[in-house]
Structure 1
Amino acid sequence: MGIRGLGLDICSISRIQRILDGPRAEPFLNRVYTEAERALCGRRSDAASAYAARFAAKEALVKALGAPPGIRWKDMEVRRQGGAPYFALSGVALEVMEARGLEAFLALTHDADVAAATVVLQSKGD
């Protein structure tokens, strides 16, 4: 069946840095990122860049899915194990992907003050 969805998002790294440096850092981090994402990003010297890339990835997936109602930030966890980044999904994100028979492919990039993510949704088995 081929490509079933495409999402692209960019995020300002300095915007995320301002949030991290401000009084709303903890509520923002708790609302948007899983514990595993926080542990990984928080120990990096370029934490704002890592958080921005994951924020862009989550936004890109939501766009690719057509913004399904009820989806939550923490339904989408960005992971990387030695290779390409990928999503570990739960909640509404997982339900929608399974109901539609989809798998997601994720690409992340950073340059200057921008982090970007592209998500391609494909029918499973294609």
Structure 2
Amino acid sequence: MGIVGLGLDICSIDRIQRIMSGPRAEAFLNRVYTQAERAVCGQRHDAASAYAARWAAKEALVKALGAPPGIRWKDMEVRRDGGPPYFALSGVAKEVMDARGLEAFLALSHDAGVAAATVVLQKRGE
């Protein structure tokens, strides 16, 4: 069947840095990122870039899925584990992916002050 969903998003690294430097930083980080993501991003010298890439990844997945109702930011955790980035899903994101029999492929990039993510969805096993 091939590709059944495609999502692309870019995020300004400066925008994330401004949020992280502002009074609502903790509320934003707690709402959008899992504890595991915060542990990884928070220890990096380019934390804003890492957070921006994960924001773009989550937005790209939502777009690829067609913005299912009830999906939450923390339903989509971006992991690396020494290889290419991938999603660990929970909640509505996992329910939708499982119900549709989908798997997601994720690519991240950073350059010129932006982070970008592309998500390709395909049926499992194809």
Structure 1 stretches of 5 or more lacking a match? none
SS of aligned partner of 1:98: helix
Which residue is 2:43 aligned to?
Answer: 43
Q: TM-score, normalised by structure 2?
A: 0.99
Query: C-alpha distance in 1, partners of 2:9/2:20?
Result: 20
Alignment of 1:23-102 (within 5 A): 23-102=23-102
Query: C-alpha distance in 2, partners of 1:42/1:74?
Result: 16
Query: C-alpha distance in 1, partners of 2:51/2:109?
Result: 12
Q: What stretches of structure 1 move > 2 A for 4+ residues in a row?
A: none
What per-residue deviation string (whole Å, max 9, x for no partner) do you get for residues 2-47 of structure 1? 1010000000000000000000000000000000000100000000
Which residue is 1:120 aligned to?
Answer: 120
Query: C-alpha distance in 2, partners of 1:112/1:42?
Result: 21
Structure 2 stretches of 5 or more lacking a match? none
1:58 Cα offset (Å): 0.1
Q: Which letter does structure 1 place at the counterpart of 2:92?
A: V
Determine what percentage of the aligned residue pairs are the same residue: 85
Alpha-carbon RMSD across the aligned residues, in angstroms, is 0.4
Q: TM-score, normalised by structure 1?
A: 0.99
Query: C-alpha distance in 1, partners of 2:2/2:110?
Result: 28
Kindly tell me the number of residue pairs found equivalent between the two proteins: 126
Q: Which letter does structure 2 place at the counterpart of 1:112?
A: A
Query: C-alpha distance in 2, partners of 1:106/1:35?
Result: 20
1:91 Cα offset (Å): 0.1
